[in-house]
Amino acid sequence: MHRISLTLVMVLTSVWAMAQDLNVGILDIKSVFRALPESVQIQTQIDFLQGAYQTELSKLEDEYQSKVSNYLTDRDRLPQNIQDARIQEIDQLQLRIQAMRREAAADLAKKQDALTEPLRARVNDAIRQVSEEKGLIYVLDSGSDALLYASPTHVINIYDDVLSLLTSKN
């Protein structure tokens, strides 16, 4: 029994000693991205592309509304085969609108990934470099819901260091 207690004390002491040497950094990654001028340029390009898609979608939706309105106005005077043709035309237009929405969303996501990848790589490189300089073992995203609490006396906020490193490389 005495040996188990002694072993337990030794293990707990080792764990406690390791925890004292554990250097953890925190950083709000979204704030870093927002602070960089490249982010504004990227967002401008994405907004422009999104606006172009929205313009085209609006045209198609206006055309759809017009065709539906015309059909509802004229349907009682039209023969069945023309009614069927107009319904089919309206259905096809609705499918085109849905397809364009899907394509626009996919294209916007792809474009955003392509534009942000080089910036993301630079930010990750800066985080790695600052972490190595400060001897950090872990860096947690303080802006994420996963980090519920970080004692200011036991973590190192590396936001300023990372931002400084990124802005000095330009």
pLDDT in tens, the chain (170 residues): 545 554 544 444 444 444 456 688 888 899 999 999 999 999 999 999 999 999 999 999 999 999 999 999 999 999 999 999 999 999 999 999 999 999 999 999 999 999 999 999 999 999 999 988 988 888 888 888 766 566 666 677 887 888 888 888 65
What is this structure's pTM?
0.69
Which runs of consecutive H residues, i.e. helices, occur in the chain? Answer: 2-21, 29-35, 37-74, 80-134, 159-168
Give 125's contacts (C-beta < 8 A, 6+ positions apart): none
Give 131's contacts (C-beta < 8 A, 6+ positions apart): 25, 139, 158
Q: How many CA atoms lie within 13 A of 118 on its CB side?
A: 6
Question: How many other C-beta atoms are found inside a 10 Å radius of the C-beta of residue 71?
Answer: 16
Q: Are strands 138-141 and 24-27 parallel, antiparallel or unpaired?
A: parallel
- For residue 102 the two structure tokens come to 């899907």
CB 119 within 8 A of CB 86: no
The span from the CA of 30 to the CA of 145, in Å, is 13
Q: Where are the domains of the chain?
A: 21-168
